[in-house]
Amino acid sequence: MGTLNDGAPADYHAQAFGGSLGFSSLRWNGMQLRMTGGYTFDLWSADLTAADPVTNMPNRYEVGLFDVTNLRRDNQLAYVQLFQLNYHTRDDRSSIVFGRQELITPFINPQDGRMHPGLSEGLWGSHKSKKGLRIEGGFIYRMAPRSTAAWYPVEQTFGLYPVGVGVDGKPSRYKGRIISPGIAMAGITAPLKHKLTVTGWEMLTANAFNTAMLQVERGTRDDRWMAGVMAIRQDRVMNGGNNADSLAYFQSDASMAFSGRIRMNLGRFRWQANYTRITAHGRYLMPREWGRDPFYTFLSRERNEGVGDVHAATINLIWHTKSGWRIQADAGQYWLPPIAAARLNKYAFPSYQHQPERAISLRRNWKGLAAQFIYMVKLPMPGVEYTTRQAVHKVNMHHMEVIVNYAF
């Protein structure tokens, strides 16, 4: 991984190697025990413990290969990933998992592009009917966020990553001060007639905020045309995480977001056009430690969490070659509120253009091997005013990654 910043700010590089090894018992009356451990070590990287000498800003991307909560020169890590007891019915349509697990939901998910994915601990159940109706949900009380090497109670995961500023423009102070026993979630996916699929999610972060999502899609991944829309509403719950408003995580009353997509398949090639609108009611907030954005306009290595009054438009061009390569080119325009508008711009991010390109190769003669190359350019929108400190690791930058995975 490497990042080139424009001008005087420092450039960075990092090379990491790691793996995981696990054990799964045979099933007994539907029950199974699973456990997995992982490790990561630094092959040869820049000094990620030192702040940029020009802006005094810490490294943003490369530290994520290791442990963002404990920067050190050796970067040798070992951690527990999965440790669970699970139950599956004989028809495999119903399951219950208790313990440490990998959840894939719109808001809590492993994320991408780092050595250690995001993991959760709790009780989770799911059921899929013969007609395709899927219901799932549970309670999460502990998490191991991506790019960390420890497990934390949910309330301690707030602020492991940079916290930005509060709605008053002063540095946020909620890290270590949130009071929340955990997260209750439920989701339902219902296939309907005429290739319609309706998905709904409800996520209650106790004593902090509630997030509800409704998504409707028409068409499947293989159909010539597909279209989808989603709406997300967030509301403050109780005191937003702390009795003192200046220490709360969710400081506004509500936020709303809408996102849409149109896709067309042309054999091995397809294109997708996407749009997202986050209203000016308040910031869309979701701890970055928990997962990536669910918006259709999401592009790798950036997100629109922590902002309001946003217009985002992206296009994806995807080509599957006969030799097994998947080549994708993306471009996006993100119109954000002014940097000085702290109520709607948590991380003082300027409006920007995002242009990542990637290629993924799967070698058919060696199953389990996957290689990925990512090249990304981020530029400020014309006419946007910003300082060097506000630009470093955000705009006027090039970012490259080479990722090789082998699963056996």
Q: pLDDT tens, position by position, for the chain (408 residues)? A: 999 999 899 999 999 999 999 999 999 999 999 999 999 999 999 999 989 999 999 999 999 999 999 888 788 899 999 999 999 999 999 999 999 999 999 999 999 778 999 999 999 999 999 999 999 999 999 999 999 999 999 999 999 999 999 999 999 999 999 999 999 999 999 999 999 999 999 999 999 999 999 999 999 888 999 999 999 999 999 999 999 999 999 998 899 999 999 999 999 999 999 999 999 999 999 999 999 999 999 998 889 999 999 999 999 999 988 887 889 999 999 999 999 999 999 999 999 999 877 767 665 556 788 888 999 999 999 999 999 999 999 999 999 999 999 988
Cα(250)–Cα(93) distance, integer angstroms: 37
Hey, how many other C-beta atoms are within 10 angstroms of the C-beta on 389? Answer: 14
Cα(92)–Cα(112) distance, integer angstroms: 27
345, 338 contact by CB (below 8 A): yes
122, 140 contact by CB (below 8 A): yes
Amino acid, res. 57:
M
User: Whose CA is closest to 279, among 300, 252, 245?
Assistant: 252
Cα(33)–Cα(23) distance, integer angstroms: 8
Cα(362)–Cα(45) distance, integer angstroms: 27
174, 247 contact by CB (below 8 A): yes
User: What CATH number should be reported for the domain whose range is 2-406?
Assistant: 2.40.160.10
Spell out the domain ranges in the chain: 2-406
DSSP-derived letter for residue 150 is S
303, 332 contact by CB (below 8 A): no
Cα(296)–Cα(313) distance, integer angstroms: 9
Hey, how many other C-beta atoms are within 10 angstroms of the C-beta on 395? Answer: 22
